Amino acid sequence: MKLRRFTEVGITRFDDFRASSARTENQLRAILEDVACSVSTGADIDVERVHFPTRFSVGEYLHGLLDDVAAPGVNTDVGTWTWLSAFYFEQLCPQGSSPGDRPRWVPAVDNYRQYYRHLLAGPYLIYRAHNDNPHRAMALLANPPHQPGDIAEQLASRQELVTNPSVMEVATRLYINSATNSPKRGAAGRGAGSARRLAAILNQLDLTWDLYGLDPDKLLDLLPEEFDQFKP
């Protein structure tokens, strides 16, 4: 199907769809196909019904789809991202789960803290920021698309952290099992050495150290003992 963008009418109908307790596949298809709900983006892009096992696969696919297009602004357009959310709705809201709040579906492009919460734009932005070595950001991309997880919640909301290659490298070394590419136990939550604690420690280190220029090994050395349990 050709990539489209929702109009205001389409966004409102999609909001109503998600809020309904009796959502059906037919209703969703109607919204996607109704010409009142969406228009062409102006870019000739084919979107496929790809299965995304992880947020990494979301970022990889959408980066390939959107980053070399002739229509500028497509990759920051609220209508386009919302349409994509609807297109992949079944994967982003599996049977029995709740859609969650609006920024997950309609991107808050003016507010970076909210922008990263979008279930598709979030992984896309992270992947794009590290497209020279996207595996470095695996800490934020290892989870399934509908469950960004606590590590992403703690680290993705600040652009200076999420775009920082050293911080992302360190987070991945700490919290991702390199054999399975899945998060380690204890990485989420509030415990010692968790991602929440890493965000807090980075805030403190930011006052004294130039985090952007620090080598990942050096940054790991600066972390207090509570992180030793996660260090490779």
Partner 1 sequence: MPARRIHFTGRRRLTTQDVRISLYNEAVPLAFEIPHFSLKRHDLPGDALVRVEAYRQSTYMPFDLGTVANVRLPGHLALTEFNTPDAIRFRVKVTSVAEATDGQLLAVGDRIRPAWVDGGQESLLPVRPASLDQEVFRLDLEDEPVLLINDKIDRWRDVSRDEHFVALVYPMVLRAILTHIVPDNMPDAEESDDWRFMWLRFAKTHPGISDPPDDDKGGDDLSAGDWIDAVVAEFCKRHHTYDTFARRWDSEDDL
- Applying CB under 8 A, the residues found at the interface with partner 1 are 8, 78, 102, 106-113, 157-160, 163, 207-210, 212-215, 218
- For partner 1, which is the closer residue by CB, 155 or 176? 155
User: Of 176 and 211, which has the nearer Cβ to partner 1?
Assistant: 211
Nearest one of 112, 116, 66, 118 to 92, comparing CA atoms: 118
Determine which helix (DSSP H) or strand (DSSP E) holds 171, and give its type and residue range. Answer: helix 165-175
As measured in angstroms, the least distance from the Cβ of 196 to partner 1 is 17
The distance of closest approach from Cβ of residue 208 to partner 1 in the complex, given in angstroms and rounded to an integer, is 6
Residue 218 or 231 with smaller CB distance to partner 1? 218
d(CA 124, CA 56): 8
CA distances from 193 to 30, 207, 231 (A): 47, 20, 10
Minimum CB–partner distance for residue 131 and partner 1 (Å): 16
Note whether 80 and 3 are within 8 A (CB). Answer: yes
Contacts (Cβ under 8 Å, ≥6 apart) of 151 = 139, 140, 171, 175, 183, 187, 188, 195
Residue closer to partner 1 by CB (options 54, 163) is 163
Task: State the minimum distance, in angstroms, from the CB of residue 140 to partner 1.
Answer: 15
